[in-house]
Every structure is written in C-alpha cells, then in structure tokens.
Amino acid sequence: MAKVVVLGAGISGHTAVSYLSKYLKEEHEVVMVSPNSNFQWVPSNIWVGVGLMTPNQVKFKLEPVYKKMGVNYKQALAVAIHPEGDSENEKGFVKIKYVTEDKKDVEEKVTYDYLINATGPKLNFEATEGLGPKKFTQSVCTYNHAAHAWEDLQKSFKKMENGEKQTFLVGTGHPMATCQGAAFEYILNIAFEINKRKLNHLADLWWITNEYELGDFGMGGAYIKRNGYITPTKIFAESILKEYGIRWIKQAGVSKVEKGLVYYETLDGDLATKEFDFAMLIPGFAGAGMKAFGKDGRNISNEVFAGNGMMKVDADYSSKPYEEWSAKDWPLIYQSVNYKNMYAAGIAFAPPHAMSKPMQSPNGTKIFPTPPRTGMPSGVIGKIVAQNIIYQIKTGKKDHPHEASMAKMGAACIVSAGYGIRKGQAAVMTVNPIVQDWEKYPKWGRNINDTVGVVGTAGHWMKLFMHYMFIYKAKAKPFWWLIPE
C-alpha cells in the first residue's frame, strides 16, 4: 500500500487530492495536511470585498468533503520535511503541528511514499512596513481579508454620501509583488460600485503598480486579438482604466505605508508619496516557511527550497542573463531536484525566473512583477502531479506521462469589472502559452490565434457561472472530474 501526503488545501492541493482519492483510495492511503478548516474559491473574494458576496458564499468546510472522498484529513501546519527519514523512520516524513481540543500543542510525524507540497504562498505583508489588514491597508487575498476590506470600504462610501471626497489607492504593495490581476479586478469593482451610487464626483481613484507598462500582469504583457486588431495589453488595460475614470502610477515599488500615506520609489529612482483614504495593496509572496532536514539532522533547506522559500523542481535555475531566458527553462513535471518522490504544485514551486523583464532603479531597488501561478495553472499543475503519482503507483514505473509546462499551457483569465445582473462586466483574456516562447512564436511570443481579449456583460455571466461550477467541483459533487481545471 502506498501513502501519498498532500500539503495545502488551496486550488492546487485540493485538485491533487481529489484525483488521488478518486483513483487510489480503495487500495492506498491519501492524506491531506492543511492548517485551514475551509476551502475558499479565491477568485470570488473580489466580490466579498465590495459586499456583493458573503464569505459563506466563497468557502465551505473541508472535513465533510474529505470524509466523503476517503481522505485522511489532518488540520495541522506542516513545519518541516525530512525526505530521508531519521533514526526512527526509514521513510521520509513531514513534521506537523496542531492544537488539540483541550488546547495542547502537539507535534506529529506523518510518513509518506510520495509528497506533494501545495502549501501556496505566505502573504508577506511584513516585507513592506505598514502593509496589511492589521496595519494601514486592506487585502482581498483571503475571504476574511476581503470581508474586512468591505467594512472599511463602506466607511468611505458613507463619507462620500455625506459630501466628503475620498481617494482610493489599489495595486501592488511591494516592488516585486505579483497578482496584479486581482488588484485590477478590485479597483474596477470599486469604480463600478461608486458609479452605481452616483458618487463619481467625490471619488479620486488611483492604480499603483510595479509593472513597467500597464497590462504586464507579471507575464511580460501580451499581444491580443481584439475587434479584429492586434492590440498590446498595455492599450487594453489603459483603455479600461480610462473608461472607469481611474488614473495610474506605474513602475512604482511601494516601500512603506503610514496611515493615509504610501511611500514609493520609481524606476527612475525618484522617491514619492501618495495620500489615500482607502487602500488595498497586494503583498509580496514568499514560501510557506517550511524547513528541510537530512537523516543526520543537517539543515538541507537550501537544497530543497529556493531563496524565496518555494520548492526547487525540474527547472533551469542557473543565473543566466535575461537575453538567454527560454521557454525550456520552465518545469514539466514539478518533481523535486534531489528527491524523486517529492513534488511541488501551484505557487509552492519556485519559478526559474520572472516572465517580465527584470528592472531596477538607480538606487538598486528591483521593481518588476514576479510570475503569477494562481487559478487555472495551479489547478492544472495539481492535476498532472497527481496523475503522474497515480500512474507510478499503479504501474510501478518511474516515468512521467503527464506534463504541464507553463511555456506550453494556455490559460483563460476573467477579470471582473463590475457585478450586476444586466450591467455587470468582465474582461475575458486568454493567452497561449502563459510563458512567452519567442523561438516558436518569434513575432508575438505566443500563438496570436489563441491570445484574445474582450470586454462585456457575457464575461460577467461567465465568471459568475464559473464561481458556482468550480465550487461544485471542489465539493466533489457527482461527475466533478468532468469539469476542467
């Protein structure tokens, strides 16, 4: 009997454990370790952040779902991986911590034959002084954060209703933050709600970003087919912001936040500030903070994880110059560099390099987005990692018939631009591949026939439909596996 342990019940980990349980649970053991008691459909946190959904509409309890799946669920925090075992265990194991019902702290060793690290990111608010819901800015990275943001946003709406002007600042809160898409959605939804309340004359809306050009989105931008023309995402993003009355500050690395004031540096090296009444800024991401130890107790974290705390996999991590970057640098199977029964999925894997060109100011501050891996790519990676493990367990072979390079994978992104039955809008964008392949597509970097962008009400309905469809899938309802990642 084989034992597969998955760390993290986000989109990637939950997808992986769903397929593992479907194909292995009768003869093998599948274990989920996650500190969270709930699954959350992160893309809909945007709507929680403007009061159009409640946290209960974007989350559900994990325990009954895993019980139905036949998964051994441990609500605990994974703190260390021992891939070589120790004097007590020949097998590799994960050290986990949890609190019992009588409030006792407990450590446990969970052995494994295969391990999938899908812990997702640490929301690294601490990397920017004054950033985060416990300080001076809001977040929509979790449903609790989004609910808190809505509470604060309502205060600004109330002030405008009383005739007081408000400044809204939304974007990235670290010079190398990713997830621009979520922030972009949020400012468009704020603008939509302000317009719905007829308060535009009292709102000053600002987008602040570490992108060199708008529409970079951490993937080096794209050229898209739109209305019969080839349009760069720079024009696509700028036109949407202008339509919604939003001004912008680009090439900006936020370094510090005080009450009502953001400090930032530009790529030109200028130091500037921006006042605000309400701010939602995405933090930088880091690894979950796990350590790794050899059989002799030696700390081998730097062999297993990259400097950012994310797991090193089958990618090219050599420090070659930007001009030599290639689509071939990106991983295919997400297998650990040194331990062949360990994998990383979703945000937990360390990308070989950025997709956007690295930039830094004259002061030496790096200001550019790091690569996005959320949503669809995370789900696809979680699935193929699970499929390869299932294949190896069932056949006894050690090859990997399933691959999911982000340099070969396409993705669809639906950016909400306002929630409404008849007036809701969304920008729908597809890219193929996610990572540019300039050798295969020397003109555009991607297949221009599969890279398109449109804005309209149909996109809103599509995003709303996907909300319910993916929650249905995540709950392992009948025929869930027929719904694509």
- What the chain holds in terms of domains, given with CATH numbers, is 3-122+286-395 (3.50.50.100), 125-284+409-482 (3.50.50.100)
Q: What confidence tier does 16 reach under pLDDT thresholds 50, 70, 90?
A: very high
Q: How far apart are CA 226 and CA 229, in angstroms?
A: 5
Q: What confidence tier does 265 reach under pLDDT thresholds 50, 70, 90?
A: very high
Residues 388-408 have pLDDT tens digits of 999 999 999 999 999 999 999
Largest CA distance in the chain: 70
pTM: 0.96
Distance of CA 341 to the CA centre of its chain: 25
Structure confidence at residue 121 (pLDDT): 93
Structure confidence at residue 101 (pLDDT): 81
Structure confidence at residue 126 (pLDDT): 97
Q: Which of 395, 393, 381, 380 has the alpha carbon at shortest distance from 333? A: 381
Residue type, position 441, single letter: Y
Q: How far apart are CA 382 and CA 34, in angstroms?
A: 15
Q: Which of 124, 99, 95 has the alpha carbon at shortest distance from 33? A: 95
Within 13 Å of residue 342, how many CA atoms lie on the same side as its CB? 24
Q: Quick check: 427 pLDDT over 90? A: no
Structure confidence at residue 370 (pLDDT): 94
Residues 76-122 have pLDDT tens digits of 999 999 999 998 888 999 999 998 888 889 999 999 999 999 999 99
Is the dihedral angle over the CA atoms 61, 10, 252, 239 positive or is it negative?
A: negative
Q: Quick check: 228 pLDDT over 80? A: no
Q: Quick check: 226 pLDDT over 80? A: no
The 8-class DSSP code of residue 353 comes to S
Computed over every residue of the chain, the mean pLDDT equals 95
Structure confidence at residue 225 (pLDDT): 80
| Residue 37 neighbours by CB distance under 10 Å | 12
Residues 34-78 have pLDDT tens digits of 999 999 999 999 999 999 999 999 999 999 999 999 999 999 999
Q: How far apart are CA 224 and CA 252, in angstroms?
A: 25
| Average of per-residue pLDDT across 159-187 | 97
Structure confidence at residue 412 (pLDDT): 86
Q: Which of 432, 411, 409, 424 has the alpha carbon at shortest distance from 462? A: 424
Distance of CA 176 to the CA centre of its chain: 14
Strand 229-232 to 223-226 pairing: antiparallel
Q: Name which residue leads in pLDDT, 483 or 420.
A: 483
Q: Quick check: 227 pLDDT over 80? A: no
Length of the chain equals 485
